[in-house]
Chain A
Amino acid sequence: MKNRELQNKMDIKFKIMKTNKLLKRALNCFFLALSITFVACSGDEPTCESSIWYADTDNDGLGDPNSTLSTCEQPEGYVSNSDDDSDALGPLNSKFTVGAAVDGEGYFVTTDNISSGTISIVGNGYEGWANLSVSVEGFLYNLNGDEGTLDKYEFTDSGLVKRDAISTTALLPGSFFRYIQDTGSGDLFLSNFPNEDGDAPYAIIDLETFTVEGHGLVNIPDVNGKDALWVNGLVKDNEIYFGSVYGDWATWTQIEDSLITVKFDYPSLTNPEILVSTASTGQTAGYRNNGTFKTENGDIYQYNLTSSHWYGHDELVGKPTVFTRIKDGDYDDYVLDVSASFSEPIAIWNAWYAGNDIVYASVVKEADITVWGDLKINTNTLVEVNLATKTVTELNIPKASYVDIFNLNCVENGKFYLPVSISGGEANIYQIDINGGANGFQKGAVLDGSNVFVNSLHRNF
């Protein structure tokens, strides 16, 4: 009951805010109209050339191309540029979510500023794994292992407020969800990789009603008598594409000698179809984040993880790290050989799509890793991959560890934001100019550093 009251109050508040905004704009227009009339009427005054002004609601100096005014003088709250691709103003301190892992525990904070100042979890923020959450249209959806629920929180001026919860233990008795994905088409896709029988649990949650649209197990079929060891699905329209790795369950050996994606109808999860690319071999399911992603025009790209440190053996030595493309429902002949840009064996552990055919990837030289822990120190290089021009640019950002970064969904106004935690050094969010070349970046907000590893960064508004 209380919740509902609160919800109503929030709704009203929201409406009032909206009304205020409308009123302000109407008044602005009215006064502008008056002044224009007045100017037009006074033939004595010198006329001026009116220019177009763009609203800067979030006060970041960048204007909203969709909200304009034409006037001679710059009105308050307006700027001359139209560079802002997100002028919406969320509740106080909620524009970004920064997730961190410390000593096996998860914490996260929300903030409006990642370009300067300090972002710290000391005495600040929430407990929980932001990398096991997604943020969609003002709400944060978080997998809560303590209570066995998927919790829905609303960003408000006074912080996150829990609004609702779906029982994941009832949806998936005896198991848990490892991945949570905003499909971009109004629902969430929760999943885990398959068990020994090839059954992978899933659930589909409708965001508007926060109800369960479907759930159960999807059987990932065997390929050439081999088991699907790990999968992660990407929803595109009426289909879902599971990047994968196939091999022998018990030993993680006999890795299938090609790249495999399993396509199902979505949301029915029927009609499995095995898509095969012979461009290389290894895991297309990604490591910490999904290895399969889609671009603005609906093309699907994926990379493969070949590191012998991942498999515990060197079956895949010599196999190239590539980006491949799935177009119109199947692999086409697109291959970008990333290994060819390096003089020694490398592996991509994670990659994040930043829009406009640009991918940022964490590249680690195989020779730099002798034990597993080496991946967590300053052995990772960030490269910018242009899928269209097939160019690979190594950025001069200091080497750090990126392998444990899960969600990195933070692109704004042509900038890609990346947490850089240098072992034994400083930690910052870096602001990278997309397509800006090897040195097109600058340091942003300061992070805690030390053993606080920022493992996710999300733009909420």
Chain B
Amino acid sequence: MKYFFISILVVCCMSLEAQTRTGELQGTIIDKMGRPLPGISVLIDGTKKGAATNFDGIYNLKSIVSGNYTLIVSGIGFKTEKLSIRINPDEITNRDIILIEDRSELSEVVIKGKTKAAKIEEKGFSVTAIETQKLKSQNLGLNSILTRTTGINVRTSGGVGSDYNYSLNGMSGNAIRFFIDGIPMDYFGSSYSINNLPVSLIDRIDIYKGVVPVSLGSDALGGAINLVTNQKISNFLEASYSFGSFNTHKIALHGQWQLKSGLTTKLSTFYTYSDNNYKVWGKGVHYADESTGFKAVEFTRDNPAERFNDDFQTTSAKLDIGFTQKKWADQFFLTLLASDTKKGIQTAQTMARVFGKVRNNEQVIMPSISYKKTNLITKGLDVNAFAGYTYTEGVLIDTSHVQYDWRGMEIGVRESGGEMGYDGKSEYTQKNQSQIYRLNTTYQLPSDFKLGFNYLYSTTRITGEDPFTPEYRIPYLEPQNIRSQFAGLSLETVKFNNKLRANAFVKYYGYNASINDLEYTDEWEIIEYKNKLNNWGGGFAASYRFSPELLIKTSLEQATRMPSPTEALGDGVTVNNNPFINPEQSFNVNLGTILGRYKLGSSRHGIKIAVNTFYRDVTDKLLFTVIDGQGNGEFRNIDRISGTGIELDFIYDFDYNFKFKLNGTYQDLRNNLEFDEDGRENIVYRDRMRNEPYFMANAGLDYNVSDYIQKNSKIFAYLQSSYTHEFFLRWPSLGSEENKSIVPSQLVFDAGIGYTFPSKKFILAVDIFNMFNEQVYDNYLLQKPGRAIFLKINYKITQQ
């Protein structure tokens, strides 16, 4: 382990003194605001010498014969700059260049995604945009990238493919919505989800906290995460293979071919497999039998148990065929997505119950069609349309008669079968059929105003079946239908020489649902329940740049989450329909500032600080309320939560290549329910929310080195630590502190290094997670994996 650090350090130190004896040209390309511009082409006119700026806007041209030249600097979205330079022998000429935005190409810039992350963060929304470029070749999942981000806490229940829950500024579960290129991800199945998608398919991740732009058309109560895929039209084929601990293998293959006719094919496929057979021990992880007198014998760190029914396998393929860069369409694609997931279910809510044969499988097939055009019919009208159909079939198999313990041994047989369910074996299949339509347009108005409109319509039909369970206990035996509509309208402007950016919006939510429920009165009858809901919301986001180094932004929204079909209509078994249900509401406010990048001394050192504060006030939150003696109940609008929080981001960099990042989030969300459903005073009123982390911090070092070991090679290395402070599983004020159940503090160190070969085709990466093999928990008594090492090989063919 020591050597690993030393080698990182050596790499860091040596490369700081990179020297050359020939004439050389280098510099940073920035925009008017001083932001570095990646991917800008720098060409010495009349020669073949050229380079593109890296992620930090830095370019470097070597071995240039001395003399006078014209330098051509160009990038999409910017006016091409030509300037004279002189190269002296044995000297490094430094030339920093400012590029001016080209308005006529602005819309194209959006598509091309240049410096999009920085731009998005300036729009006034409380948003963090992560460019994944550097991380793509590492063995990182989206979850682990996101959990290092300010304000986000991702809690997983185990290893690869395990259940996950996102918390964004303290709001979690279904208050957070996920999108891929603006389309709600709920329809893509569990394989094509934030949990499993390879980072290599994603260019950028936008995290909107509390206030969500209308282009993300959904009922996001606490925020939204939008995954943006590669939108660049270039020909490439890229493959990666990662393998490592717990017999984990991840293969991804994606590429794009555009013929001269504009006929374009895109392919993204991935396959992931893991045994997830990591070691567990401690509370709940025990065995017992006649030989121990049924006394519980706990497994220990020195004698741990190994997970044995936790394997995960997913295969996903997405094929797009269509046209790009045609007169009638910038992009037009017919897409087919298919995925297959198979996984073992090892435990229940805690590790006390262990299953040896319970399985969960899912297949998804999703054809869709998409169309994108800027300046459609009239200049300034951009249209983006999508239509899709999804069929998802998921099955939960619990048919084993044999029971297991943590030794993986068979410890008994249940005649009625089933390991999970008390009522005997089951094989529950749920089929969801959805249709989804989206129309997103923007229209450039005079005086720098822009109108945005987004409309989303979806229908879902859910049915359930189970050959082993009596009909009256099968959820959705009779189909459940839901139709939902979203419409959003926004007005956006950029004023005062780009200093002020503002966006005001209104949103409409409509909801229409019905379920056929099997009910017993004098005989079994099918009764249809219907529910219809409407809701309006709105908000604004604004930012003002006082100086190139100081930006202040604020946003607020009255946000809504519509009840899920099950919440509104029940599942036909234990959850009853509630005809009086209302949407959950939240009033969200953000106020933040971004300072920097400030130069310290020479321009090589820089710091950037961002501070954001937020306020959330959730009302009408749904709570399952028991309504009869058999434990059946319904969802009611009872709960209330409110609170504030603060986030801090700090980045120090040296030459943009070496970075130290530190971020922290403290949130104080409280139970705001003064009286419970029976009108009684709530003793935990104003208590901090239970089972919810409230202090998280991350610190990391990133380093980019060029030309080390081999010329034109690149090394990227990082060391990352993540801390989550302990929190109570149950209400903090009740019970004596020393007797309370705690989800313990965790401090985890990860590190990785990637080497890009000079050809730029090969990248080798090694990552080590949970370096010190800590016993870590995100959830109470659900242990996560210990130390794990992965190696990844990336191969890319690009043809420009």
Binding site for B on A (CB under 8 A): 102-103, 105, 107, 121-127, 145-149, 159, 164-167, 169-171, 173-176, 195-197, 199, 210-212, 215, 217, 249-253, 287, 309-310, 312, 371-373, 376-377, 423-424, 448-452
Q: How far is the CB of B626 from chain A (nearest CB, A)?
A: 8
Which single residue of chain A is at the shortest CB-CB distance from B624?
A: A104
With a cutoff of 8 Å between Cβ atoms, the chain B residues found around residue A146 in the complex are 283-284, 350, 352, 741, 780-781
- Interface stretch, picked from B12-20, B174-182, B647-655, B732-740, is B732-740
Roughly how many angstroms separate A164 CA and B293 CA in the complex, as a whole number? 12
B284 x A147 contact (CB < 8 A): yes
Cβ proximity bits B325-338 to A, threshold 8 Å, 1 near / 0 not: 00000000000000
What CA separation (Å) do A309 and B627 show in the bound complex?
A: 10
* Given A122-B733, A164-B295, A170-B405, A376 contacting B678 (CB threshold 8 A): yes
Partner of A127, one of B353, B403, B415, B740: B740
Known: A123-B736, A169-B353, A309-B629. A423 touches B294 (CB 8 A): no
Please measure, in the bound complex, the distance between the C-alpha atom of A449 and the C-alpha atom of B675, giving whole angstroms: 12
Q: Give the residue name and chain of the B residue nearest to A149 (CB).
A: B296
14 A/B residue pairs, CB under 8 Å, sorted by A = A126-B739, A147-B283, A147-B350, A166-B295, A166-B296, A167-B294, A169-B352, A169-B354, A170-B288, A174-B414, A197-B415, A249-B470, A449-B680, A451-B676
Contact status of A250 and B520, CB under 8 A, knowing A170-B288, A450-B681: yes
A-B residue pairs, 6 tightest by C-beta? A173-B403, A148-B352, A167-B288, A170-B288, A450-B681, A167-B296
User: Which chain B residues lie closer than 8 Å to A377 at the CB level?
Assistant: 678
Contacting pair B734 A107 (CB below 8 A): yes
Q: Known A199-B416, A373-B677; judge A312-B628 contact (CB<8 A).
A: yes
Partner of B678, one of A122, A123, A373: A373
Q: Which of A102, A149, A170, A173 contacts B414 (CB 8 A)?
A: A173
- CB–CB B296/A451 < 8 A: no
Max count, chain B CB within 10 A of own CB: residue among A169, A174, A372, A451: A174
A105 near B678: Cβ-Cβ < 8 Å: no
Complex CA–CA separation, A196 to B472 (angstroms): 13
**Residues of the A chain whose Cβ atoms lie less than 8 Å from the Cβ of B601:** none
Residues of chain B within 8 A (CB-CB) of A122 are 683, 733-734
Contact with A along B286-320 (1 / 0, CB 8 A): 11110001111000000000000000000000000
Is B731 engaged at the interface, CB distance under 8 Å to the other chain? yes
Determine if B627 and A373 form an interchain contact, defined as CB atoms under 8 angstroms apart. Answer: yes
Closest Cβ–Cβ distance, residue B246 to chain A (whole Å): 25
A169 touches B405 (CB 8 A): yes
Asked whether A121 and B735 contact (CB < 8 A) given A146-B350, A148-B352, A423-B679, the answer is: yes
Write out the residue numbers on chain A whose beta carbons fall within 8 Å of the beta carbon of B283. Answer: 146-147
A164 (CB) vs chain B CBs: closest residue? B295
Residues on B with C-beta less than 8 A from A165 are: 286, 295-296
A146 to B, closest residue via Cβ: B350
What residues on B are CB-neighbors of A169 within 8 Å?
A: 288, 352-354, 405
Which of B416, B680, B739: most chain A CB closer than 10 A? B680
Contacts of B352 in A (CB 8 A): 145-149, 169
Q: When chains A and B are docked, how far (Å) is the Cα of A55 from the Cα of B740?
A: 39
In the complex, are the beta carbons of B414 and A167 less than 8 A apart?
Answer: no
Complex contacts, A145 vs chain B, CB 8 Å: 352
Instruction: Indicate if B423 sits at the interface (CB-CB under 8 A).
Output: yes
Name A451's contact: one of B284, B287, B472, B681 (CB within 8 Å): B681
User: Could you tell me which residues of chain B, from 365 to 382, have a CB within 8 Å of some CB in chain A?
Assistant: none
Chain B's closest residue to A201 (CB) is B422
Interface secondary structure of B, over-half rule: loop
Name the interface residues of B386-405: CB closer than 8 Å to any CB of A: 403-405
B70 adjacent to chain A (CB < 8 Å): no
| Contact (Cβ within 8 A) B629 A310 | yes
Task: Collect the chain A residues with CB atoms within 8 Å of residue B740's CB.
Answer: 127
Contacts A123-B736, A124-B735; A148 near B284 (Cβ below 8 A): yes
Interface residues of B in 657-692 (CB under 8 A from A): 676-684
A377 to B679, CA, bound (A): 9
Known contacts A170-B294, A371-B627, A450-B682; is-contact A175 B422 (Cβ 8 Å): yes
For A175, the closest partner residue in chain B by CB is: B422
CB of A72, distance to nearest CB on chain B (Å): 48
A396 and B197 alpha carbons, distance in the complex (Å): 66
CA distance A199 to B283 in the complex (A): 30
Q: Report the separation of the CA atoms of residues A309 and B284 in the bound assembly, to the nearest whole angstrom.
A: 38
Q: Taking the complex as formed, is B744 at the interface, i.e. its CB lies under 8 A from any CB of chain A? A: no
Residue of A nearest to B671 (CB): A103
Interface pair B737/A450, CB less than 8 Å apart? no
Q: Which of A148, A173, A372, A423 contacts B411 (CB 8 A)?
A: A173
A151 to chain B, nearest CB (A): 9
Beta-carbon contact of B739 and A127 below 8 Å: yes
**Contacting pair B422 A423 (CB below 8 A):** no
Tell me, rounded to whole Å, the shortest Cβ–Cβ distance linking A14 to chain B. 23
Q: A196 vs B421: C-alpha distance in the bound complex, in angstroms?
A: 12
A residues in contact with B676, CB < 8 Å: 103, 451
The CA-CA distance from A126 to B677 in the complex, in Å, is 25
B765-787 CB contacts (< 8 Å) to partner A? 780-781
Residue B121 at the A interface, CB < 8 A? no
Could you tell me the distance between the alpha carbons of A388 and B470 in the complex, rounded to whole angstroms? Answer: 46
Bound-state CA distance A256–B627 (Å) is 25
Alpha-carbon distance A184/B284, docked complex (angstroms): 30
What 7 new A-B contacts, CB under 8 Å, besides A195-B416, A423-B680? A147-B284, A148-B352, A167-B296, A196-B470, A212-B294, A251-B520, A424-B680
Q: Is the CB of B350 within 8 A of A197?
A: no
A377 to B739, CA, bound (A): 31
B629 touching A372, Cβ below 8 Å? yes
Instruction: With both chains docked as a complex, state the minimum distance between the C-beta of A118 and any C-beta of chain B, in angstroms.
Output: 13
Distance in angstroms from A48 CB to nearest chain B CB is 51
- Checking B421, B423, B734 against A121 with a beta-carbon cut-off of 8 angstroms, the contacting residue is B734
When the two chains form their complex, are residues A127 and B470 in contact, meaning their CB atoms are under 8 A apart? no
Q: In the complex, what residue of chain B is closest to A145 when comparing beta carbons?
A: B352
In the complex, the answer to whether A126 meets B736 with C-beta atoms within 8 Å is yes
Decide yes or no whether B446 CB sits under 8 A from chain A.
no
List, in ascending order, chain B residues with CB within 8 A of A449's CB.
680-681
Output the least CB separation between B443 and chain A (Å).
Answer: 50
Residues of B within 8 A of A148 (CB): 284, 286, 296, 350, 352-353
Q: Which residues on A sit within 8 Å (CB–CB) of B423?
A: 195-196
Contact partner, A102, options B296, B404, B734, Cβ 8 Å: B734
A450/B287 in contact, CB under 8 A: no
Across the interface, which residues of B come within 8 angstroms of A164, CB to CB?
295
B682 neighbours in A (Cβ, 8 Å): 103, 450-451
User: Is residue B462 within 8 Å, beta carbon to beta carbon, of the partner chain?
Assistant: no
Residues on the A chain within 8 Å of B419, using CB: 173-174
- A372–B415 Cα gap in the complex (Å)? 35
Residue B483, interface by CB 8 Å: no
* Cα–Cα, bound, A170→B295 (Å): 9
Q: Return chain A residues, CB-CB under 8 Å to B680.
A: 423-424, 449-451
Say yes or no for B420: interface residue by CB 8 A criterion: yes
Output the least CB separation between B241 and chain A (Å): 39
A265 to chain B, nearest CB (A): 22
Q: In the bound complex, what is the Cα–Cα distance between A176 and B421 (angstroms)?
A: 11
Question: In the complex, are the beta carbons of A102 and B780 less than 8 A apart?
Answer: no
Please report the C-alpha to C-alpha distance between residue A149 and residue B352 in the assembled complex, in whole angstroms: 8
B412 contacts chain A at the CB level, 8 A cutoff: yes
- Chain A residues with CB under 8 A of B470: 196, 249-250
Residue of B nearest to A287 (CB): B629
The residues of A that contact B627 with a CB separation of less than 8 Å are 371-373
B350–A127 contact, CB under 8 A?
no
Q: How far is the CA of A373 from the CA of B626 in the complex (A)?
A: 9
- Interface core residue of A159, A175, A376, A424 (most chain B CB under 10 Å): A175
> A450 to B736, alpha carbons, bound, how many Å?
19
Cα distance A5–B788 in the bound complex, in angstroms = 38
Is B741 a contact partner of A127 (Cβ separation < 8 A)?
yes
What residues of chain A lie closer than 8 Å to B741, measured between beta carbons? Answer: 127, 146
**Residues in B neighbouring A173, C-beta threshold 8 A:** 403-405, 411-412, 414, 419
Q: With A164-B295, A167-B286, A170-B288 as given contacts, are A197 and B411 in contact (CB-CB < 8 Å)?
A: no
